[in-house]
Structure 1
Amino acid sequence: MTKNEKFELVERFIVENREAHYRLSYSYVKNKENALDIVQESILKALRSIDRLDDISYLKTWFYRIIVNTAIDFIRKHQRMTVMDDDILDIHLPQLEDEMTDMDLQNAINQLPPKYKSIIILRFFEDLKIDEIAEVTGDNANTVKTRLYAALKKLRIEVGEEFRL
């Protein structure tokens, strides 16, 4: 496969899956502008390192790994900076019990260390399989399973036993 063909495949993949890429980055930073910045930076990184993508069948996990790493780097760089999204107003409005449970779950997920948070997001919000998560995170499948169960245990403790993903 030529570099141009590979470039066109990557470009098509990015355009066709832009909502999923935005959703993944937003799940880390909870801010529209920052999520868009992460996606944009991830696209630049992907296009610059397109030669490292040896097998096109790993395109999805390769690009997700770039997004996850870019999001984690962004969070590290901006730890002290707190940005409030427009959605923060929703917190002050009356809420239904289900919405409160969702908010508790989201807060609990946000409190997880990055290695656990990534696995929860990729497994339950992006619907990736254990092997795909291992590819994205660079860990073996057994490590991913162990971290997944540990993260679920932490979430059950934080949210309560009635919580089930």
Structure 2
Amino acid sequence: MTEVLFYHLQGRTIEQVLPPLLEKSLARGWRVVVQAGSEERADTLDAHLWTYRDDSFLPHATWRVADAMHQPIVLTAEESNPNAATVRFLLDNAALPADAEGYERMVLLFDGDDEDAVGMARDMWKQSKSRGFEVTYWQADAAGRWQKRE
């Protein structure tokens, strides 16, 4: 069954939150596709993931490269799944893809300070529940650790 995790960002950006979540995904041996809201956004994230920390290497590529199917993390602006990922991150109000049932896990990162993003997350929560997905809601505590909320 597909699990959909909703990460409510407040006071933190996707650029701050995404790299550690991707590191955890790789540590678990997962293949990941990250869907951004535009090609420009995917390119910006691509550059960021190479430089976000001096002591870290996060192997990834964009959907444009010829060997995307061999990459553990692929950044895209489309609904495609070029690396046969089982985990999909949705950014920038990206909708659930038509093939959502084909993923083990979908991770929606949304800006809690943006009314449109909150509204879209609520709609996606309802859609996910109606499709029989297991849904969980996550919010960071004061120390920045993610806590599952009821």
Tell me if both proteins adopt one fold, taking TM over 0.5 as the criterion. Answer: no
- Normalised to the residue count of structure 2, the TM-score between the two structures is 0.31
For CA contacts below 8 A with separation 6 or more, give which structure has more relative contact order: 2
Decide which structure has greater helix share.
Answer: 1
- Normalised to the residue count of structure 1, the TM-score between the two structures is 0.29
- Structure ID, larger Rg: 1
